[in-house]
Structure 1
Amino acid sequence: MLIKQRDTKGFTLVEVLVVVVILAILAAIAVPIYLKYVQSARAGEAQEAIGSIMSAAKVYHAETGTWPTDLRQLKNLKLDPLVQDRWRFTINGGGSTGIQNITATSTAQMPGGAGYPVTYTASTGKWSGYGTD
């Protein structure tokens, strides 16, 4: 008696499930790493702008002998309009005491939401806040 062999094509359910589990594990590892990278890139945008603000503040100090207390005092400051839409900048300190820190806080136009601060502390030269870890 002859036994007829079936011509099977395709994957079994077990093989498909193994692939799905492997993809889920890879996604669980990759997604947090990707999100951290995105935060870091967004914080980099704020850090670059804060660096420009500090440079303009130093020029202002050299010209006037005092430190700016508000961005409107920095006439030579040129920030990208997109950056200005995504971030609100505040100078803490200024006047005769010097700048303590400059903070950028994300706005609603920022992909990822509003209210995320990035702070540069002038006395230590250190960054803190969103995406700077």
Structure 2
Amino acid sequence: MEAVFELYGEAGRPTLRAITERVDEINERQEAGATASRETVRRMFRGQIPTGWGSVRVTLMALCEFAERAFDSQEDDEEFALGNGLYTGRFDIYMKRVWSEALANPEPYKKDPWGTEPPF
């Protein structure tokens, strides 16, 4: 789920603790109904796909707040940039589709993006 890594970069690469604290704040403000532990977030960043959309959704909401990006805009024709692409539509719906596709075909995501080899 490269889109998650792109969003994480836009968010300024917050720590796992900062992300989960923001998740808790979102739940207090909005009663999002889902949570994500540090371990869940860590696993997401290591390429494991959570089976529940709720944990993914609230984690993405937290990253969007760090990145000052709207997560659930009501505009169906909104344009947003992610990575090298420009997309039209609602960001939350786009990310749910990415998550759903990753669940349906997890093989490309099983490799640890931060494995033993440094990226340089």
Decide: shared fold, TM above 0.5.
no
Higher-helix-fraction structure:
2
* Greater fraction of residues in strand: 1
Structure with greater Cα Rg: 1
* Larger RCO of the pair (alpha carbons < 8 Å, separation 6+): 2
